[in-house]
Structure 1
């Protein structure tokens, strides 16, 4: 028995098993521990905005205007309550994201329809596409004065360039991305420019990154994909061309340097880094037809065609899903309105990709 125990002891010495402390992992040799970069770990997004890796751990930080919650991971906006702008067929709804209090900003006649929306905090105006009259209109958020930007156009999606003072839109039928100078509109001129129309089949949604001079759009005609180019149409490239069915809407989350999209064919919300890497799909059970998507803080919001609802969930996990708005009318475009978007964009928000 004694000899047997000696042999077992010698055998265990020969097959040493190494283990690492939390925050470290074994290298391929199986004998050396190395630091785990939690910020870059596949499938892990531990922070709302900025993740800083440290030896054996990591820390989260927030951009100006946001504060880190007690959980050490979540960034919450300070100041006035953020508002979700929702186009609901014949009206423009304002929904407080803290209080859930609702208010109507604008209504249109039954022969018109509010489809896509965006806002300009610099000029304190909300813009929308009117499908019935084939025009883009605006309303002042303080005086409620209304006006028309341009007439006789078809637009699937509009976006405001708050730095260059331009308004962009996509025409899926013509296969074009167009723009108009807002400064010219206020002088009574409505001449617009075609930014891009070469090899554009059926653009569906558009998002702008004025800080970096970039635009992103989804293509649903032919091969579905998400593309990127300069805001003048230059330096064009395909960003994402895998795992897409019908990307109906895209939204940028510049605080975490990601792009989100809704996919009507695959019934999901997708996300990726702004260089096209790190693609993640959140499969949504019981959802039939996501139409428009928006992102704010730790949540992603979308309008649902079949159930005529606006819903939200955690943008990284898909958990805590909830219905915010349910109407008999059809919800379309979404945008989150926050005064932080007026004061926060700075060089610190420029994307970390070259």
Structure 2
């Protein structure tokens, strides 16, 4: 399903399984908005003091919204209605993009694809205990996802052309796929990882256990596929893919 309006570029998408709302970042507004999964009016949430909002994540338990801004070099948080907004981090960030939550443990993870020093970081959701998880053997970590079932943090890197996973507690790192083309966003469901690829213009499924590609999903029209998330029918079981897609410019 496509989440963009004409002349808009949607980068990140997230889903609130409790209210069945889709949230997204739009860099042309710029804006952060939401709408019901079943359809309906677009509800703007954040319109001011944005430059390039890209990554977006939801804590459905605490009812919080997190996002990255790659031009303001910030990570911010608000309630799901956009109120009580505040900056969590505005230092040591160059190109922050993907961000994900672990609501059960109150943790936040994000990646910065700074070409001079890419890294993946972690903190508590209140901004305390900020820690660098990964800084070696990274190139352009565009996509990031967290699987609460086995506590695995996974990323897709367009620089190293790899998909990797890590237990953020024990810091055990494992390669899942290599030689991929140009991944942008990543989401996990069960044993399968789904990543969007700009060169293949597709969504690619990879089995984490066999470490093999299993499926490829192609949009009906020639498109550059950006963000991807899952839409559980219940919290947290049952899922469907939900994408943000932007047509190639001539």
Q: TM-score range by the shorter chain?
A: 0.7 to 0.9
Whether 1:252 aligns to 2:146 is: yes
Structure 2 match to 1:155: 53
Query: Does the aligned pair in 2 maintain the 1:240–1:276 contact within 8 Å?
Result: no
Query: Does the aligned pair in 2 maintain the 1:157–1:170 contact within 8 Å?
Result: yes
Deviations 1:103-134 (A, max 9, x none): xxxx412x112211001111221011112110
What is the total number of aligned residue pairs between the two structures?
234
CA distance in 1, matches of 2:16, 2:203: 22
Q: 1:218 to 1:143 in 2, by over 3 A?
A: closer
Query: Does the aligned pair in 2 maintain the 1:158–1:206 contact within 8 Å?
Result: yes
Q: 1:254 to 1:195 in 2, by over 3 A?
A: same
**Residue aligned with 2:235, SS:** helix
Whether 1:216 aligns to 2:109 is: yes
CA distance in 1, matches of 2:233, 2:105: 21
Where do residues 329-348 of structure 1 align in structure 2 (5 Å cutoff)?
329-342=223-236
Query: Does the aligned pair in 2 maintain the 1:122–1:342 contact within 8 Å?
Result: no
Query: Does the aligned pair in 2 maintain the 1:267–1:288 contact within 8 Å?
Result: yes
TM-score (normalizing by structure 1)? 0.62
CA distance in 1, matches of 2:177, 2:100: 23
Structure 2 segments unaligned to the other structure (5+ residues)? 239-250
| 2:18 pairs with one of 105, 113, 122 | 122
Q: Larger C-alpha radius of gyration, 1 or 2?
A: 1
Query: Does the aligned pair in 2 maintain the 1:247–1:263 contact within 8 Å?
Result: yes
Q: Which moved more, 1:156-165 or 1:333-342?
A: 333-342
| 1:199 pairs with one of 92, 116, 119 | 92
CA distance in 1, matches of 2:212, 2:95: 33
Structure 2 match to 1:269: 163
Give, in angstroms, the shift of residue 320 of structure 1: 4.3
| 1:316 pairs with one of 192, 197, 209 | 209
TM-score (normalizing by structure 2)? 0.87
CA distance in 2, matches of 1:266, 1:317: 20
Q: 1:134 to 1:268 in 2, by over 3 A?
A: same
**Residue aligned with 1:330, SS:** strand
Q: 1:114 to 1:192 in 2, by over 3 A?
A: same
Whether 1:108 aligns to 2:9 is: no
Structure 1 stretches (4+) deviating beyond 4 angstroms? none
Whether 1:299 aligns to 2:192 is: yes
Whether 1:165 aligns to 2:63 is: yes
Structure 1 match to 2:40: 144
| 1:238 pairs with one of 132, 135, 157 | 132
Query: Does the aligned pair in 2 maintain the 1:282–1:318 contact within 8 Å?
Result: yes
Q: Could you say which structure has the higher strand fraction?
A: 2
Query: Does the aligned pair in 1 maintain the 2:177–2:212 contact within 8 Å?
Result: no
CA distance in 1, matches of 2:237, 2:97: 29
Q: 1:202 to 1:320 in 2, by over 3 A?
A: closer
* C-alpha RMSD over aligned residues: 1.9
Give, in angstroms, the shift of residue 325 of structure 1: 2.3
CA distance in 2, matches of 1:336, 1:124: 11
Q: Could you say which structure has the higher helix fraction?
A: 1
